[in-house]
Amino acid sequence: MLGLAALALSANAARAQRLLVPMDDAQQNHLKAYGLTYTAIKAGASAEWLLNYRGGSFLLADTPELRRQAGLAGITIEPIDNGRLGQIRAEIASNNMEAVPLEKAPKIAVYRPSEELPWDDAVTLALNYAGIPYTSVYDDEVEHGDLSKYDWLHLHHEDFTGQLNKFYLSYRDAPWFIDLLQKNTAEAKRLGFANIPALKKDVADKIREFVDRGGFLFAMCGATETLELAIAGKNVDIAQSFLDGTPMDPDADRKMDWKRAMAFRDAHLEQSPFVNAMSDIDGHQVNVPGRQQPLGTFTLFNFSAKFDPVPSMLVQNHRAVINDFYGVTTSFNKAVLKPGDIILANEEGAPWVKYIHGDYGKGTWTFYGGHDPEDPRHAIGNPPTDLSLFKNSPGYRLILNNVLFPAAKKKPLKT
């Protein structure tokens, strides 16, 4: 009898019922933990997101391959048996926590040009580091309707007003800018548009349609603001003459159709071609001397995990207060938010918010201001951030929350 009991015990230790991936401070590599979970979902293994439980932990099937991947990446896992699992479920049931099944690995597209540019993209860095596969798409693919192949689309530094982020103010003679201008102009012509602004506005509208049909959109940095300007300004000349040969329509502000936009309303365009800003959507205006606002910290909202699982998923973190970071669009002024927007994070006492989310048609959008959560003053030409040095980054976790949340099985609200 004794011999049989020992054998059973050792078998339990070797293969537990589940693997708990803690996401509190016990976790050695938060960012790769998302990749592990994505791998599990993609392989069809059972996976749950334990919202608000130990920093938003994951509960995965115990398989040799997942153990191997965790060991290779230095991801902390805790094998648990059914008894311990029961205790966890009881704790979740009696607190502001929820277990959300993760069912289908989303097909991910990142909107980015094929050529190397002198800046990087935090989402691409995060996806690469976590080991989550994605496909790069750009204007050609969008114009040919390829977005329908994907569940999730990410936008970063792109200027959808077609003004190339007004880099002509500082970099008009830089070889990379000249190249960028030539390639974009040629691409616009090839796709049948008169100029870059016309192409980008059409691309923006196709992205809007992607969300309207049920897609998940995640945007950071300048893409948030310019996407909205391009959508609202579809029938207005909002580009300066450098790009389309004509100045901005002096009455552009009045002609903007904000009903078409997803997140913002009644913003005012920057009329001057010599001011490196697009509108008053951004609260920080990092590239405008005299307007630039200092960086502070932003605080994540604590939602009800049982009643608001989607915003809860988006703010899962082991830190509630996070250092702010600049981008060409760093934050979003409260004054221009639409009434239905959900504020996920804001800066205490400031007139702006950092991280917002909302529904549009059958889909959702999430906007996260700033360029690189671990390089608060990232500048053009700076080397990309090495995420192996920031494997517990709370700012990057917010990006990866967005990658996983489309995998969640929708549950009917309990109200």
Residues that bind another protein (CB under 8 A): 68, 71-74, 118, 120, 125, 128-129, 131, 289-290, 292, 294, 377, 379-384, 386-388
Smallest gap from Cβ 345 to another protein, in A, equals 25
Single-letter amino acid code for the residue at 214: G
Smallest gap from Cβ 155 to another protein, in A, equals 21
Smallest gap from Cβ 329 to another protein, in A, equals 17
For Cα atoms 85, 410, 404, give the angle at the middle one, nearest 5 degrees: 75
Smallest gap from Cβ 388 to another protein, in A, equals 5
Cα 242 to Cα 167, 172, 288: the distances in Å are: 11, 10, 19
**Residue with Cβ nearer another protein (68 or 189):** 68
Query: What share of residues in the chain are helix, strand, coil (percent, to 5)?
Result: 35, 15, 45
**Residue with Cβ nearer another protein (21 or 345):** 21
**Residue with Cβ nearer another protein (74 or 351):** 74
**Residue with Cβ nearer another protein (74 or 214):** 74
Smallest gap from Cβ 352 to another protein, in A, equals 18
Among 406, 299, 378, CA closest to 122: 378
Smallest gap from Cβ 114 to another protein, in A, equals 16
Smallest gap from Cβ 334 to another protein, in A, equals 23
Gap between the Cα atoms of 261 and 238, Å rounded: 15
Smallest gap from Cβ 51 to another protein, in A, equals 27
What b/e sequence results for 303-334 when a residue is b if at least 16 CB atoms lie within 10 Å of its CB, and e otherwise?
Answer: bebbebbbbbbbbbbbbeebebbbbbbbbbbe
**Residue with Cβ nearer another protein (121 or 341):** 121
What's the count of helices (H) and strands (E) in the chain, helices before strands? Answer: 14, 15
**Residue with Cβ nearer another protein (90 or 379):** 379
Question: Pairing state of beta strands 342-346 and 47-51?
Answer: unpaired
**Residue with Cβ nearer another protein (7 or 379):** 379
369 by DSSP, 3-state: which? coil
**Residue with Cβ nearer another protein (9 or 72):** 72
Gap between the Cα atoms of 47 and 44, Å rounded: 9
Written as six digits, the tokens of 266 are 């009644």
**Cα dihedral sign, 322-325-327-330:** positive
327 by DSSP, 3-state: which? coil
